[in-house]
Structure 1
Amino acid sequence: MEQARYTCRMYDTYDEEHENIGRLNKTQQKREIAELHDLAKSLSKLDPVALEKMDLPKELLQALIAVQGMKHTAEKRQFKFIVKLLRQIETESFHETIAELDAKKEEQDKNFHRTERWRDRLIAEGQGAMTEFMDIYPQADASQIRQLVRNINKEIAQNKPHKSSRVLFRLLRDVICQ
């Protein structure tokens, strides 16, 4: 009884005329599949609107949206299917898009933490921190910031909700992120 031979395009290397010139080693095959699996995981974390903007093939787009609601075994099968779809297309632009989105998110996180630190310093240190903040961000409204800091200190003293703290955060975020 003769065994059927299966060849997979991804694992065989071809020259321009599609002549088989050699087989990739198993480690390289696993590495490529792992990279595609990581790409699939990254793509699946994006919201559907961002995915639609990426100009993905329709079947891949539907698979990525579907995997977001799956659990455990079904998710694992779906990722295998997504990797299969990714093997059939050029993925370089997807890597670039995800890198850009990651850089944008990292910048947003830095701005968020910078704003939090300034808010906390303005509340704790008072005038010294205010002078330093105004040196760095002269476009800020100093009187409004001082009033909000006074309100925050009153709210803390009276055990009231920190409404002014949220307002101060938004004001500082707008100034810092301009």
Structure 2
Amino acid sequence: MRKKQKRDLYAPEEFDEREERPSRSQLKRDMHDLQQLGGDLAALGDRVVKEANLPPEVEKALLLIKKLTKHEARRRHMQYVGKLMRTFDTSHVREIVEAAHQGHQVKTEKFHRLEKIRDALVDGDDDLLQELFETHPEDGQRLRQLVLGARREKASGKPSKNARALFKLLREFPEDEES
């Protein structure tokens, strides 16, 4: 009887015909992405989750996330959400979450733009003040009063009560007419 040799056990031809499938690490990354997607959707609120047209068990699981306060329970539940998210096409969910993030980004950009306008007015940009006065004559007097008051507060080092009121007034102006 002949003893098996190591080279008899290894046949590289067997491995040439294997299907290429994702690695275990890639599967884990995909699973974590789906968990994150579910968490992001749940963070948008109950109304958004209900309007997303999800399967009932997924919707129920997403609505339950906010009620869980214990870390380990929440972690296990997020794994369950990830498992449920694998059962259907999540492209619609990704679109909803992306649209929400873009909406937030637009609001942030508008906020920063208004802050720059306010700071320019308080720092003494009279051309901008005149331009705003001409485009909004109904609020022009109030605008000038707030700008002058904010400039005085800044010069004396007092808290900027008028600058906050000026920012609120600028927020009320229509979007298309802002500088």
For the criterion TM > 0.5, the same-fold answer is: yes
Rounded Cα–Cα distance in structure 2 between residues aligned with 1:46 and 1:61: 13
Q: Which residue of 1 aligns with 2:15?
A: none
Residue of 62, 65, 68 corresponding to 1:64: 62
Q: Which residue of 1 aligns with 2:169?
A: 171
Q: Which residue of 2 aligns with 1:90?
A: 89
Q: Which residue of 2 aligns with 1:111?
A: 110
Change (3 A) 1:66 1:129: same
Q: Which residue of 2 aligns with 1:24?
A: 21
Contact persistence 2:32–2:82 (CA under 8 A): no
Q: Which residue of 2 aligns with 1:127?
A: 126
Contact persistence 1:111–1:176 (CA under 8 A): no
Q: How large is the Cα RMSD of the aligned pairs?
A: 2.9
Change (3 A) 1:152 1:71: farther
How far has the Cα of 1:76 moved from its partner? 0.7
State, as a whole percentage, how many aligned pairs show the same letter: 26
What count of residue pairs does the alignment treat as equivalent? 155
Q: Which residue of 2 aligns with 1:147?
A: 145
Q: Which residue of 1 aligns with 2:79?
A: 80
C-alpha deviations, 1:85-142, integer Å up to 9, x for none? 11112111010111111111100100011111111221122414424x539x934643
Rounded Cα–Cα distance in structure 1 between residues aligned with 2:160 and 2:106: 30
Q: Which residue of 1 aligns with 2:12?
A: none
C-alpha deviations, 1:138-169, integer Å up to 9, x for none? 3464333112212334555494671x333321
Contact persistence 1:123–1:153 (CA under 8 A): yes
Contact persistence 2:39–2:62 (CA under 8 A): no
Q: TM-score, normalised by structure 1?
A: 0.72
Letter in 2 for 1:85: L
Rounded Cα–Cα distance in structure 2 between residues aligned with 1:160 and 1:79: 46
Rounded Cα–Cα distance in structure 2 between residues aligned with 1:117 and 1:46: 29
Rounded Cα–Cα distance in structure 1 between residues aligned with 2:58 and 2:171: 37
Rounded Cα–Cα distance in structure 1 between residues aligned with 2:164 and 2:47: 29
Contact persistence 1:115–1:173 (CA under 8 A): yes
Q: TM-score, normalised by structure 2?
A: 0.71
More helix by share: 2
Letter in 2 for 1:64: L
How far has the Cα of 1:170 moved from its partner? 2.0
Letter in 1 for 2:129: M
